[in-house]
Structures are given as C-alpha cells and as structure tokens.
Structure 1
Amino acid sequence: MAFDAEPDFTRFTPHLLSPAIGAELLGADLTNPDDTLISEVRAALLKYQVVFFRDQHDLTRQQHIDFARAFGELEIHPATPKDQPNPEVLRIAHGPNSKGQENNWHSDVTWRAEPSLGSILRAIELPKIGGDTLFSNMVMAYEDLSEELKERLCNMTAIHDIARVFAKRLGKDPTSLHERFPPQEHPVIRTHPETDARVLYVNIAFTDHIVGMDRAESDALLQYLYHRAWLPEYQCRFRWAPGSLAFWDNRACQHYAASDYFPNIRIMERVTIAGDRPYFTANA
C-alpha cells in the first residue's frame, strides 16, 4: 500500500510519515477552522488513517473541543473525573509517581457498543526525549492474511471487555464495570463505514475471546492476530513536540504510546468523537 504524495488539498500540505500510514498536515491552522478545512482534514484522515498537526501553540482547550466536535458527537470516558470542567477532555498524565500504561497496541474503547470514530490528542507537557506514539494500519493487517484465514475470520465475532484494562486502573470490580459497560460482541473483521475497507478489529487490550471457539484455540488465534499490529511495515512513529496534535481513525488503525520516559513528565489531553456499531458486509 502506498500513498499518492501529490498535493490533493488546499489548506495544508501532507507530509507522509511512512508508506503505510500517517501524514503531517503542514500549514493547517486549527484555531479557527472553517468548513473547507474540516472537510479536507476528514478526507486526509480517511486516506492516511492518522494525521498530525504541528505548531498549534495558540490552540486552547476549548478550541480543541470545538475542532473535535466538528467531526461528530463527543464521548466522555469513564476515567474522566466527574467534577472535571470540560468532561469531554481525558487528561492522560504520567510522571515520577505514575508510569505510562498505554503501551499496548489497541483501538480506543472497543468495549463500547459503539466504539469511537476517532481521537484527537494534544501535547500539554512533554519529556525532553521519549513518549512517542506509534500507529499501525489494520487494513493492511487484514489484506496480508491468507485467503483461507480471511474467509474464516469474516464469519467470526469476538467479545470486547472494559474490565481487561480498567478494572485495575479504575480500582473497580469487573461486575460493577459490567453493569454500566457490559462486554460487547463485535465482528473480528469490520467494514469501515466510510471507505468500505475491511479492517482487522481485535486488539490485545480489550478483546477477550472469539465467540463459539474453544478457549485455548481462541487464545492462540487471537495472539496471532494481535501481533499483526506489531509489524513495522504497517506502522509509523510520531515524535511529539510542543504544539503537536494527532487525530487517528479508531475504525482503521491501532496505536501504542511508548512508555520509555519514566520518571519524566508527559501530559496529554484527548478528545474523542463517538462512532457507530461495528459491522461486517460480505460484499464490501
């Protein structure tokens, strides 16, 4: 898979991070976006799966929220403190007393009945070095499977469970978490609702087991599928700097936040756009 590097856009110039995924949208100004910029960013997101913005030093928290809202309804994460102003913002802060925990390949909130469309992450405070975020193309991960395995997987569903990560992180009993967020059954291969691409849609953080399969067999198959995200040929790596933002399509890619900066401080703020229920279309 290779991208056309010709300038298709009027409000920014794409700079590719790898042949597989990711582009910096150079020259974009997010402080006062108009309909044209929003439309072009959406098109770039669908093309590159994750897009990056540099030098947005003047962007405020409210402008971050407003920019995200231009792409759809916003969701509130259960890890957000209930008394926090701007509950749409998930603050992810690590330092001497909190080592980063997001260093597993995953797509955000697949434990929801309607997992998110995408997330927009803004750098607030960064270590001098480290704390990069990696992204992996799950369309390519599907396309490179054998035809026999593709056929099998397209008839499978899997259970996604919030408790796999957040029971410990939030200090809650799985049963109480499941009362609010019951485990969800999603297709192992989903159809992207805007591009019709087929996407490998299991991740090591939240996918628990394949429905109707012996547990040992399910574990073995899932381990193989989880590791498809680890292949460097599917990836790009983003080095954060002050004023940087990343906007990724949770329906098409996975990401991994490198936890290599402890005990230094890394503070990020994420605003997430709600999505729809995953589905598979046989004739897509």
Structure 2
Amino acid sequence: MDIRTAVGDLTVRHPAGPRTLHRLPDGEEPKPYELFGIEPVTGLIGAEVSGVDLREPVGPVLFAELDRALLEWKVLFFRGQHVTAGQHLDFARRWGELEVNPFFPQEVPYLSRIEASAQKPGGQNVWHADGTWREKPLLGSVLRAVEVPEAGGDTCFADMGAAYDGLSAEMKRRIDELTAVDDFALSFGPGMDADKLAELRVKYPAVEHPVVRCHPRTGRRTLFVNPAFTTHITGLEAGESEALLGFLFQQVAVPEYQVRFRWEADSIALWDNQATQHYAVNDYFPQHRLMERVAILDEHPAAFS
C-alpha cells in the first residue's frame, strides 16, 4: 500500500514495505573495536559502550576508537559513570572547544543544568538539533543523568542521514540546493523580556543553513531542518515554505530511524549533533529529572554537499 501526500505542487509517494537503512556511508565497511565493548541498541543508530571508565583520562588511542564509534552509531551510551563535573568537561573537550549556552543556567562554566519537577515541568519535548541557531552549529553534546524519575523521561534520537536517504529522488532534487533560516527566538524567545531579546538578537542574529547539509566528517547528506529553530525556507512563498517544512519535519518521526534511551542515574549519552536530532520525552510530571549537559562547538559552518 502506498500513501500519497501533497506538498505544495508536488505529490509525494510513501511506499509501504521494507526500508533500506545504511549505518555507514556508501563503500565503508564496519570495523571491530579493540578497547571497549559495544552493543547496538538498534541496527542503525545508538550503541552502549562498556569497559570504559570516564573518570580516567581518554588517551589518543581510546579517543580515536570512540570517535570512530560515534561517527558509525551517531549516539553512544555509557552506564554507571560516576564522574565529577571536571571529568564530564574533560571528556567533552576531547572533541573540541566547549559552548557557553546563553539560555541554560551554568553554575559551573560550560555545564548546563536542565531540570524539571512538580514546580517546573520539562519543556524540551520537541525534535531538534542543538544550536542550529548558531552560524556554526554544534558538533555534539555530552548529557549526564543526575536524577531520573521512576518511569519515563527517556530521550529519543533520530538519524538524519537516514531521514534524507528515505526521501524520494524527486523530493531530494527539490530540496538539495535550498537554504532555510534558523532563529533562537522561535523556541527561546516566547516569554523573554523584550530588552533581553533585543540584546541577544544582536549577538545571535538569525542564520541561514542548507536544508540538506553535508556532514563535515563523513560527507554524508543529512536533513538539516528542525521545528525548534527553523522558521522558513529562503526564497519560497510563505505557504509553500510551511508545507515543505511540515513535510520535512515529519521525516524524523519514522521509527526505523530512531533509538530510544532509558536513563539511569549516572548514565551518559554522547551524540553527533551534525547527524542527529533528539527529543526529550516529557511523560514523567510531576516527578523530578535533573540532567547536566556539556555541548561542543563546531569549527565548520553548515555547508552543501
């Protein structure tokens, strides 16, 4: 059975049946990992790493293997990591310079606390990639669970390379050369003091990125629009832009592209922000959930493939 969707003047066909999924870029073969165990959570995205103690410094050989695993699996999970704030930061720094986030409280520099409780319900339940409102979007993030609810509070991740691969050839031709505008105010602006919003708009103006980004490390094409920060597609009439973005936003929801992680206290997730989007499931109110996040800056501006 096929499903057809009208997107502006284009009718998009969604064939039912098996999906062909590619964890690695074309022509690249998986290689074993010598310094740690790795257990896939799905066949496409997400793997749990065992045999690594993140309280210890990550040397160059171990880093090279972890970096390769990150590019292959897009998100790595570590259980039982009783790290200090300093150790958390040191681990993230292996991938690059750290972000100072202007929207999350940081009692420790570079370490953001993301908290939800009966007094402050969680609000991260929207698919997004971190920092696409920046000229140079973030390379990745390292998120640690400090306190988790008895049930609920999972995080879902989606492979946006697979999301692009799953589009029809006609849709790919339509979007491959388009750009879109991302703006922090779409998510962080509502309720913000007008003076503060104006100040941040000067520092972080809206930016334009390719709708389809070339991953700077793997060369793989990835769908690079998200409902948290992407406001419109450049050069399109408003209705056409809205229809096309609405369709592209839906691609993240395909279960075959996703992994869902059940947190435990002292679990850590490291993800490739250039290849994924994520969604914090807000199904645990009024229970308490406290996470600590460190984000890694990217030296590469978003670029076409």
Q: TM-score range by the shorter chain?
A: over 0.9
Which stretch of the first structure deviates more once superposed, 109-118 or 30-39?
Answer: 30-39
Residue 200 of structure 2 corresponds to 177
Report the Cα distance in structure 1 between the residues aligned to 2:33 and 2:208, rounded to whole angstroms.
38
Q: Distance in 2 between matches of 1:66 and 1:169?
A: 34
* Deviation (angstroms), 1:20: 2.0
Which one is further off, 135-144 or 33-42? 33-42
Per the alignment, residue 223 of structure 1 pairs with: 246
Task: Give yes or no for contact 1:163–1:177 (8 Å, CA) kept in 2.
Answer: no
Maintained 8 Å contact 1:94/1:265: yes
Q: Which deviates the most, 13-22 or 159-168?
A: 13-22
Match of 1:135 among 157, 160, 163: 157
How far residue 63 of structure 1 moved from its aligned partner, in angstroms, is 0.2
What's the offset of the Cα at 1:239?
Answer: 0.2
Tell me, which stretches of 5 or more residues in structure 1 are unaligned?
A: none
Q: Structure 2 counterpart of 1:99, which letter?
A: P
Q: Secondary structure at the match of 2:189?
A: helix
* Cα deviation, residue 193, structure 1: 0.4
Cα shift at 1:172: 4.8
1:164 aligns with 2:186: yes
State the superposition RMSD in angstroms: 1.7
Check if 1:12 corresponds to 2:12: no
Q: Does structure 2 conserve the Cα–Cα contact (< 8 Å) formed by 1:2 and 1:19?
A: no
Matched, 1:243 2:266: yes
Is residue 104–residue 114 contact of structure 2 (8 Å, CA) maintained in 1?
no
Task: Give 1:80 deviation, angstroms.
Answer: 3.5
* Matched residue type, 1:114: K
Deviation of the 1:177 alpha carbon: 2.7
CA contact (8 A) 1:7 1:14 kept: no
Secondary structure in 2 matching 1:75: coil
Equivalent in 38, 63, 77 of residue 101 of structure 2: 77
- Name the SS of the counterpart of 2:52 in structure 1: coil
The answer as to whether partners of 2:111 and 2:293 remain within 8 angstroms in 1 is yes
2:190 partner SS: helix
For residue 155 of structure 1, the aligned residue among 177, 183, 191 is 177
Residue number in structure 1 paired with 2:301: 277
Q: 1:14 to 1:170 in 2, by over 3 A?
A: farther
Name the residue aligned to 2:76.
Answer: 51
TM-score, with length taken from structure 1? 0.94
1:265 lines up with 2:295 in the alignment: no
TM-score by length of 2: 0.87
CA drift of 1:176 comes to 3.3
Map of 2:112 onto structure 1 = 90
SS of equivalent to 2:89: helix
Change in CA separation of 1:181 and 1:264 when aligned onto 2, cut-off 3 Å: same
Q: 1:219, 1:244 → 2: CA distance?
A: 38
Which digits, 9 at most, give the CA deviation of each residue in 1:173-204, with x for residues without a partner? 64333111100000000000000000000001
Q: 1:167 to 1:144 in 2, by over 3 A?
A: same
Unaligned runs of 5+ in 2: 1-20
Q: For 1:109-148, what aligned pairs fall within 5 Å after superposition?
A: 109-148=131-170
